[in-house]
Structure 1
Amino acid sequence: MWIGGSQMSVTALYAMALPPELHRLQLESGVGPSPMLAAAGAYTALSAEHAAAATELTALLAQVQADTWRGPSAGRYQAAHLPYVAWLEKTSADCAQTAVAYESAVAAYELTLATTPTSAELIANRTLRGVLIATNFFGINTIPIAVNEAWYAAQWIRTALAMIAYGAACDTAVLSAPPNTPAPMLLAPGAGEAAAAVGGAEAAAVGTLGAYSPSCSPRCSTSFGALSRRLSASLLQRFP
C-alpha cells in the first residue's frame, strides 16, 4: 500500500541513500490519497450493508421461530442460516477494519507531507548554495555556505526518517486489513441442481428454502429472496 508515485519498500538504507528532493517527488507524484479515501468510504458502506443484512436475516429467523413452523425442517432451516448470519457480521467487521486501515495509510501520507521540506524549499536551498559558491571571493561566504549545507543535511535526515516511518505505517495498514472470507453454503447436497431446474435467480433462492422445508411460508421465501438480491448487488459492487 503506497500513495505516492513509488511502491518500493522503504528500508533505512534506501531512505538514507536518496536525496530529499527525490523523496518529495515520490510523495507528490501519482494520484494522491483520493482513491484510497474512496476505497475506505466504499468499505465503510459495505460494512453497513452487511450489518443491515445480518440484522434483517436475524429478524427473519426470529420470525420463523416464533411462527407456526415446527418440526425438524424448521430446525434445519435455522441451523443452515445461522452460519450465514455469523458470516455477515464478521464480514461487516472486516470491512470496517479495512476502511480503518486505508484511512490510516492516508493519515500517514498526509503526516509525511507535512513533516518534510517542500520541493520549493529544497530548490531554494540548492539555488542559494550555488550563488554563495559562485560569489565566494576570498572565502567571504564560507560561513553562509556551511549554514546552508547544515540545513540541507538536516533536511536529508529528517526526510529519510519520515519516509521510514511512512513505510512502516503503510506496512502496518496492509497487515491489519483482514482477508476476504467466502460466504458459507446454504444449499443442501443436491438442492442446487433441483433449484437450477426451476430456472432464474429468484427460483434458486426459493428452491434453497424448499430444500430445507417444503412448508416454508411464501412470506419467508419472499423476504429471503429480497435479502439475497440486495446482498448480491452489494457483493457485485465490491467484486465486479
Structure 2
Amino acid sequence: MDFGTLPPEINSARMYHGPGPGSMLAAAAAWDELAGQLYEAAADYHAMTSGLVDGWQGAAATAMGLAATPYLAWLNATAASAQHAARQARAAADAFQSAFAATVPPQLIMANRALRASLVTANFWGQNHPAIAAAEADYEKMWVQDAAAMYAYADASAAASAMQQFESPPAAGPAQTSDADDDVISAGAQVISTLPRTLRALSSASSTRFGKALLSMSSPLSKLSSRRLGFAKHASVPIAVAIAGAAKAVRTNRASVVAGVGRGMSIGVLSVPRAWFPAPPVGSFETEFQSAAIAIGRRLSGRPGRSAT
C-alpha cells in the first residue's frame, strides 16, 4: 500500500477510528507477567536441584544435576524471549501513538474542504482565487503530513514486529520414549490375548446350558422306558395310544429344552443365532414318530389294525 496516493481523509480516518494501542499494551502486560512466572519457576527449580546436590554426592547426583540443566536453561531463555516480546509490543504501541500525534485530525481536513467549497461558491468575479489557492496549499500540506506519518508508522511497526524465536522444551530421552512404546504394545497384546479366553468362556457357558437342558430331558426319556416295560401289565390299555402320549410328552419337554438352550447354534466353539440355520421339519418328525408308535403297538398286540384288549 502506498500511503502517498491516499488522500488525508482516508489516512486520518484510519488512525482516529482504529482500535488504538490498547491491545498492544495489554499484550505487553501479559508477556511481562509470563516472563516473571518463568523466571520464578527457573529460580525455584534451581534452588531445589542445588539443595539436593548439596546433600547428595556421587555419580547419581551429578547425573541428576546434568539432567536438570537443560530445562533450567530453557526456562531462562523462554523468559528472556517473553520479556523481548513485551518490549516489542510496547514499541508497537509507542509507534502508533507517535503516528497518531503526527496525523492531521479529521476535523481540520473537513474544515478545509468546507472552506474551499464555500469560497468556490462565492467566487463570482474571481475575487476568491487567492483564498482558494491558500486552502488548496493547506490541504496539500495535510496530505504530505499524513503520508509522512503513515510511512514512519510502517517503519516503526516493522521494527517492532521482529520477535525472538521461542525454542521448544528439551525432548524426552530415548529410554523414556522406549518405555512408553513398550507400555502401548503390552496393552495391545493384553487386549488381543483376552479375545480367545472370552470366546472360550462364551462357548463353555453355552455347553453348560445345553448340558442342563439334556439333564432336564432325561426325566421324560426314563418315563418312556418305564412305560415300555409296563406294557405287558396294561394290556387292556391300547399300546399305540400310550406310545403316542409318550411322544406328546417328548414334544412338550423338547419345547422346554429349546427354551433352556435359547436360540443359539454351534459353529466350532462359537455360539451363533439360531436364525442362521433352517429350522428342522418338526411336523414330519412328529408324524413319523406317531406312525412308528402305532406300528410298534400293532406288533406288540399281535392284532394288526386293532388295539389290544
Query: Do the aligned residues in 1 keep the contact of 2:15 with 2:103 (CA within 8 Å)?
Result: no
Match in the other structure for 1:53: 41
Match in the other structure for 1:97: 84
Q: Distance in 2 between matches of 1:82 and 1:190?
A: 19
Q: What does residue range 73-152 of structure 1 map to in structure 2 within 5 Å?
A: 73-152=60-139
Match in the other structure for 1:188: 173
Structure 1 residues not aligned, in runs of 5+: 1-9, 199-240
Moved more, 162-171 or 131-140: 131-140
Deviation at 1:132, TM superposition (A): 0.7
Amino acid at match of 1:158: Q
Q: Distance in 2 between matches of 1:178 and 1:120?
A: 41
Greater than 4 Å deviation, 4+ residue runs = 192-198
Superposition TM-score, scaled by structure 2 size: 0.56
Q: Any idea what the Cα deviations from partners look like across 1:47-86, whole Å, max 9, x if unmatched?
A: 101111111111112101111x222222111111111111
Query: Do the aligned residues in 1 keep the contact of 2:24 with 2:90 (CA within 8 Å)?
Result: yes
Question: Secondary structure of the equivalent of 2:174?
Answer: coil
Query: Relative contact order (alpha carbons < 8 A, sep ≥ 6): 1 or 2 greater?
Result: 1
Question: Secondary structure of the equivalent of 2:125?
Answer: helix
Question: Secondary structure of the equivalent of 1:190?
Answer: helix
Question: Secondary structure of the equivalent of 1:182?
Answer: coil
Q: Distance in 2 between matches of 1:89 and 1:174?
A: 22
Query: Do the aligned residues in 1 keep the contact of 2:84 with 2:164 (CA within 8 Å)?
Result: yes
Deviation at 1:194, TM superposition (A): 4.5
Amino acid at match of 1:82: T
Q: Distance in 1 between matches of 2:132 and 2:119?
A: 6
Deviation at 1:189, TM superposition (A): 2.0
Q: Any idea what the Cα deviations from partners look like across 1:207-232, whole Å, max 9, x if unmatched?
A: xxxxxxxxxxxxxxxxxxxxxxxxxx
Does structure 1 residue 24 correspond to structure 2 residue 12?
yes
Question: Secondary structure of the equivalent of 1:183?
Answer: coil
Amino acid at match of 1:95: A
Aligned residues: 183
Match in the other structure for 1:171: 158
Aligned CA distance change for structure 1 residues 37 and 196 (closer, same or farther; 3 Å): farther
Give the fraction of aligned pairs with identical amino acids, expressed as a percent: 32
Q: CA RMSD in A?
A: 1.8
Choose which of 135, 143, 147 in structure 2 pairs with 1:156: 143
Aligned CA distance change for structure 1 residues 29 and 193 (closer, same or farther; 3 Å): farther
Deviation at 1:180, TM superposition (A): 1.6
Deviation at 1:122, TM superposition (A): 0.6
Aligned CA distance change for structure 1 residues 50 and 191 (closer, same or farther; 3 Å): same
Amino acid at match of 1:114: A
Deviation at 1:139, TM superposition (A): 1.2
Deviation at 1:116, TM superposition (A): 1.2
Amino acid at match of 1:179: Q
Choose which of 39, 44, 49 in structure 1 pairs with 2:27: 39
Structure number with larger C-alpha Rg: 2
Q: Distance in 2 between matches of 1:196 and 1:64?
A: 31
Q: Distance in 1 between matches of 2:145 and 2:106?
A: 14
Q: Distance in 1 between matches of 2:29 and 2:10?
A: 31
Q: Distance in 2 between matches of 1:189 and 1:74?
A: 21
Q: Distance in 1 between matches of 2:23 and 2:94?
A: 14
Q: Distance in 2 between matches of 1:72 and 1:55?
A: 24
Amino acid at match of 1:182: S
